[in-house]
């Protein structure tokens, strides 16, 4: 069974090699056509080719080429209304002899006379309607009866994927453009979310002046639940950060913390050589949230102060970034 599975995968490898040899100037023409579309790309196909087409429509749309899958039978019974001037068609059929797909392509040309791109084995009937003909290699499927669409769907999907990405690249779309199509997914969050969207701010922000008492410090830390307090100078600029861990270390050293001000606690609690230094525990609100996560990992810290100039306006913790899906 293991050898049989390996043999099937080797057949896929052979198919991909033969597919590479079929990529020619027609592929370049297809990319140019799709990159200059003024309307939607209509993708069609029946059976397993239709499922490939549905996936292709999703891939094209998510990479900047508005696309819609239209079932060829439904198109001939009303769904042809989606076709608009300035659109193009990508018709997928392994053997290129499917009557419904052929008829839809014919009707499409009669309605808008837009470019038709076909994807099939070479010299198919569907290809006769094509402005641009793309091909998959005419190879056996991997099942013993050569019946289950496997090799053909794999090569067809590969062509669609590569066509979508090459079209995206020819439009000079950026990662931010890609993120616009995935605002709620991990990709979108990584590319779109700024730390200002996630930071703790306003009355929830633990903040105190330098001259407050130890009791006020402890109350601020415990009531805000952040495990720390931001200390500011009289002009509102950040002086430093004092954590509950700092206070525990002061108490362990029998420092007279109850008699100390916030500034005195801060100075007495500065880290020794046995603890990692925090060289950059701050950032700005427009910093990408994913970059803040990297910054925390590099500096071995679990929170960052958000500054506007030198004034603290927020705080973000690693747990906030993780909870946001980063």
Sketch out the chain's domains with CATH numbers: 2-173 (3.40.50.10490), 195-323 (3.10.580.10)
**Is the model's pLDDT at 272 over the cut of 60?**
no
> pTM of the predicted model, to two decimals?
0.64
Query: How confident is the model over 181-197, as pLDDT tens digits?
Result: 655 555 566 666 788 88
- Residue 32 makes CB contacts below 8 A (sequence gap 6+) with 170
Asked if residue 225 has pLDDT above 80, the reply is yes
DSSP bridge pairs for 253: none
Contact between residue 137 and residue 155 where contact means Cβ atoms under 8 Å apart: yes
Whether pLDDT at 290 is above 60: yes
pLDDT of residue 9: 94
Q: How much is the average pLDDT of 152-176?
A: 90
Give the length of the chain.
326
Q: What is the pLDDT of residues 196-221, one digit of tens each?
A: 888 999 999 999 999 999 899 889 98
115 — pLDDT class (breaks 50, 70, 90): very high
Among 17-31, 71-85, 249-263, 284-298, which is the least confidently predicted range? 71-85
How far is it, in rounded angstroms, from Cα 281 to Cα 66?
42
Give per-residue pLDDT as tens, 14-59: 999 999 999 999 999 999 999 999 889 999 999 999 999 999 999 9
Q: Is 286 helix (H, G, I), strand (E, B) or coil?
A: coil
Which pLDDT band, with edges at 50, 70 and 90, does 179 fall under? low
Write the DSSP assignment of 162-229 as a string of letters: HHHHHHHHHTT--HHHHHHT-TTSHHHHHHH-BGGGT-B-GGGS-EEETT-BHHHHHHHHHHHTSSEE
């Amino acid at each position: 069974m293991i050898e049989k599975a390996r043999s099937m995968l080797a057949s896929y490898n052979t198919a991909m090699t033969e597919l590479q040899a079929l990529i020619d100037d027609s592929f370049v023409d297809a990319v140019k056509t799709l990159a200059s579309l003024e309307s939607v790309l209509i993708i069609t196909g029946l059976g397993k080719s239709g499922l490939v087409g549905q996936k292709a429509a999703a891939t094209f749309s998510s990479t900047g080429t508005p696309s819609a899958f239209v079932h060829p039978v439904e198109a001939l019974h009303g769904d042809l209304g989606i076709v608009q001037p300035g659109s193009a068609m990508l018709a997928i059929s392994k053997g290129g002899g499917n009557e419904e797909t052929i008829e839809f392509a014919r009707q499409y040309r009669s309605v808008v006379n837009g470019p038709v791109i076909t994807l099939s084995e070479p010299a198919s009937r569907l290809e006769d309607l094509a402005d641009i003909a793309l091909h998959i290699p005419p190879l056996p499927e991997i099942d013993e009866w050569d019946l289950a669409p496997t090799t053909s769907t794999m090569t067809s999907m590969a062509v669609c994927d590569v066509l979508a990405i090459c079209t995206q690249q020819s439009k000079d779309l950026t990662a931010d453009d890609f993120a616009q199509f995935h605002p709620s997914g991990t990709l979108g969050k990584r590319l779109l979310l700024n730390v200002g969207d996630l930071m703790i701010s306003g009355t929830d922000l633990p903040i105190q002046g330098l001259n407050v008492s130890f009791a006020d410090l402890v109350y601020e830390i415990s009531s805000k639940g952040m495990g720390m307090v931001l200390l500011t100078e009289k002009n509102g600029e950040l002086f430093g950060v004092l954590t509950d861990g700092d206070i525990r270390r002061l108490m362990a050293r029998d420092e007279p913390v109850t008699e100390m001000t916030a500034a005195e606690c801060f100075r007495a609690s500065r880290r020794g050589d046995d603890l990692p230094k925090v060289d950059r525990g701050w950032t700005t609100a427009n910093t990408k949230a994913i970059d803040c996560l990297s910054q925390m990992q590099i500096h071995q810290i679990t929170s960052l102060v958000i500054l506007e100039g030198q004034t603290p306006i927020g705080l973000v913790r690693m747990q906030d970034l993780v909870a946001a899906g980063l």
